[in-house]
Structure 1
Amino acid sequence: MKWWLQFGCFLTGWNRRILSQCSEASFKYLKKYTAALLILIILWGFTGFCFAQRYVHTPLWGCVLSSVIFIVIVIQIERQIILAVKTSKFIFAFRFFIAVIMAVLGSSILDQVIFGEDIKRKMVEITDRQVVELLPSRLRTIEDKLNELQQNIDSLESKTAMLNEEIAKEPVKKAVTTTTTYKNVQQEDGTYKKIPETTVSSVLVPNPLTKQVEMNGLNLDRLRKQQDEFVQKKIGVEDSLREELSTNIGFLEELRAMLEIILTRKEAMVFYIIIFLFLVSLELFVVASKVGDKKCDYELIIEHQLNVKATALDELVKNIR
């Protein structure tokens, strides 16, 4: 069996030994299913790679891994139809539901790649609106902090001024010191005994409030420094907010921008509908082939084996009873 057919059996899950006993019609069915799967593999492999690269920001190996995961999911979904022995309306209805969901996801990701430049321009407009909405609250927060700092500065300056007035009235204070010395005094019996002698003296020292004034000065410098920092923040708050909004753009933000483009521009809406219908059609490729064509001899053999096995099991159950 040629490698192409072996590869097709690997993708679809068909049994190579059974296929080798079938006619050319089964080989054509296999090639058709394989071609449909390859289209979906290429499409979803590219979609998974772009999604990981654009929104998850993974390295190259992460993008490749994401692409492989998307491909495996698609193959397993399509096998639910290809390997169905007895089809039912429920299976096809459920597959159609999945196809619509996958088409929505795929078109959302692909359109955000295709409309990349338009989305960038739209994001500038959205960012401007967000700045207008968020700027008053940011300014209010900074103003509250500046008012709090100014109150602390005014309070500390008032206390320092009062301390300076007290220091001006009494720049130095008298400090009393007491020293005790021991003197050996001979007793009547000839022994010596240490007798304490206390000396009291007074010295002039700087007012202790001077140290408190120095500490207040250091605290005032720290508060004024913080005040200057918040003043600078207030001056550049709009630029910093715009930069923050511009650097934190995720999938949902770009999706919102894309929706605005689609809803406000007719040509974008038409193109999105075309992409969506194209993806839905691709997703239903295998389903349409399964429903529209007659069963090939490969499927007839599988169904025959199932019927034979089921009949044998029924006879076995009857004999046991």
Structure 2
Amino acid sequence: MRNWWLKTSCFLTGWNINILDSCTEVSRKQLKKYASAILILVIIWALTGYLFSQRYIGTPWWGSLIAALFFSIIIIQIERVVILTVGKNKFSTIFRIFLALIMAILGSTILDQIIFKKDIEKKMIEIVDRQVEEQLPKRLIIINSKLAELQHEIDSLDKRTLDLYNDISSRPTIKTISSSTVFLKIQQPDGSIKTVPQHTTSTNPIENPKNKEVTNNILHLEQLRKQKEEYTNKKLASEKLLRSELKSTQGFLEELSAIKEILSEKPIALIFYLILFSFLVCLELLVLSSKIGDTKSDYDLVVEHQLDRKIKMLSELKK
């Protein structure tokens, strides 16, 4: 079991177990310290990757596990860069501190969005309300324009129909005059036949023809009112539809805006964020601080000695 743990620690840190076998217990303790620090980071970032993938990418459980593994591999490789650096490297130290700050910001932001889930959901309701208030009038421009057009047409047709009703009430029937000409053959005294036209005129009452126009207007009005009702229903459903669209498209950036508002409005949330951020920064710098602060172990001295011997050998070959 002990040998297995040493091999695992060597895998995490990148140390050579063959060199470690010839070293003292001091090197083994340093190895365990490095491995413990890396394991802490791996656990935190694996959890962060799993939750981030599940919540914002929408992956199934196995996809989230792959994301957790991906995050873990990245962390191990980053820490190996620090641990396997031979000697002192100021640039590497500065770069690792800068990277630690970035990773702490990302980690604390992602974890805060998980921790403040309920608060974010409440804040997202407020944000959606503001978005609806801003975007809904733009969506209703076309619908309102069509409703106004239909209402104007309905009012005009109503007025025309009312005028027709008044006219029909005063004249339910109208008189039509028809005339006809009949040619009569009349025998003249001298025995000749003369054709004489005879004109007749008749007056007949008929139904006011405007009744037909009224019937057509009523049918047209029914169609217009039906269209108006459809557009009114669309208008009423627009807000609900817009809310549904906004809620369905909520992602990482929207929730990031929500948590920004929460941090600016609630000092206690900001304090918690800063504590979590500081905690992650300390964890990120745990390996680096151990690397810089500790005295060199015999493992480090062996590696540096091998490097010095190789440099001398190459220098002699050049002569």
* TM-score class normalised by the smaller sequence: 0.7 to 0.9
Q: Cα distance 1:26–1:135, how it changes in 2: closer, same or farther (>3 A)? A: same
Cα distance in 1 for residues equivalent to 2:98 and 2:223: 65
Structure 2 equivalent of residue 133 of structure 1: 134
Deviations 1:84-129 (A, max 9, x none): 0122111110000000000010011000000000111111111111
- Cα distance in 1 between the residues matched to 2:281 and 2:311: 37
Equivalent positions of 1:242-261 (< 5 A) are: 242-261=243-262
Q: 1:229: Cα distance to partner?
A: 3.3
Shift of 1:263: 0.8
**1:272 matched to which residue of 2?**
273
**1-structure distance, mates of 2:297, 2:221:** 91
C-alpha displacement at 1:266, in angstroms? 0.8
CA distance in structure 2 between the partners assigned to 1:147 and 1:314 by the alignment: 92
Residues 145 and 82 (structure 1), Cα distance of their counterparts in 2 relative to 1, 3 Å cut: farther
Residue 87 of structure 2 aligns with which residue? Answer: 86
Residues of 2 paired with 1:152 and 1:72: CA distance?
A: 69
Which amino acid counterpart does residue 133 of structure 2 have in structure 1? V
CA distance in 2, matches of 1:271, 1:17: 45
What pairs up with 1:46-85 in 2 under 5 angstroms?
46-85=47-86
User: Aligned partners of 2:153, 2:92: CA distance in 1, in Å?
Assistant: 73
Q: Distance in 1 between matches of 2:295 and 2:142?
A: 72
- For residue 147 of structure 1, report the CA deviation from its aligned partner: 5.2
The aligned residue for residue 96 of structure 2 is 95
Q: 1:148 to 1:72 in 2, by over 3 A?
A: farther
Moved more, 137-146 or 24-33: 137-146
Q: 1:226 to 1:317 in 2, by over 3 A?
A: farther
- The one-character-per-residue Cα deviations of 1:36-63 (angstroms, maximum 9, x if unpaired) are 0000000000000000000000111110
CA separation in 1, counterparts of 2:223 and 2:316?
95
Q: Which amino acid aligns with 2:242?
A: L
Q: CA deviation at 1:313?
A: 0.5
What SS does structure 1 have at the residue aligned with 2:35? Answer: helix
Note if 1:262 corresponds to 2:263: yes
Q: Tell me if 1:123 matches 2:124.
A: yes
Tell me how far apart the structure 2 counterparts of residues 86 and 220 of structure 1 sit (CA, whole Å): 91
Report the CA distance between 1:221 and its aligned residue. 9.6
1:212 matched residue in structure 2: none
Q: Report the TM-score, using the length of structure 1 for normalisation.
A: 0.75
| Unpaired runs of at least 5, structure 2 | 156-219
- Correspondence for 2:15: 14
The Cα of 1:247 is off from its aligned counterpart by 2.1
1:230–1:295 distance in 2 versus 1, CA, 3 Å: same
Instruction: State the AA in 1 paired with 2:36.
Output: A
Q: Does 272-281 or 238-247 show the bigger shift?
A: 238-247
Distance 2:316 2:91 in 1: 30
Supply the distance in 1 between the matched residues of 2:283 and 2:140 (Cα, whole angstroms). 52
Change (3 A) 1:231 1:313: same
Query: 2:185 maps to what in 1?
Result: none
In the superposition, relative to structure 1, how do residues 299 and 221 fare at CA in structure 2: closer, same or farther (>3 Å)? farther
From the superposition, tell whether residues 56 and 221 of structure 1 become closer, same or farther in structure 2 (CA, over 3 Å): farther
The amino acid that maps onto 2:78 is I
- Aligned counterparts of 2:243 and 2:6: Cα–Cα separation in 1: 57
The aligned runs of 1:148-187 (5 Å cut-off) are none
Residues of 2 paired with 1:129 and 1:247: CA distance?
Answer: 16
Deviation track 1:158-191 (CA, whole Å, cap 9, x = no partner) reads xxxxxxxxxxxxxxxxxxxxxxxxxxxxxxxxxx
d(CA) in 2 for partners of 1:40, 1:112: 19
Q: Which has the larger radius of gyration?
A: 2
Segments of 4+ in structure 1 off by > 3 A?
144-154, 219-229
SS at match of 2:296: coil
Say what the alpha-carbon RMSD is for the aligned residues. Answer: 2.6
- Offset from partner CA, 1:61-96 (integer Å, 9 cap, x none): 110000000000011000010000122111110000
Equivalent pairs, count: 259
Tell me the distance in 1 between the aligned counterparts of 2:224 and 2:69: 57
Partner of 2:176: none
Structure 1 residue 231: Cα displacement: 2.2
* Unaligned segments of structure 1, at least 5 residues: 155-218
1:225-236 equivalent positions in 2, closer than 5 A: 228-236=229-237
**CA deviation digits over 1:249-307, x for unaligned, max 9?**
10011111111111111100100000000000000000000010011010111111011
Relative to structure 2, which stretch is displaced further, 126-135 or 97-106? 126-135
> How far apart are the structure 2 equivalents of 1:62 and 1:231?
45
Counterpart position of 1:211: none
3-state DSSP of counterpart to 2:263:
helix
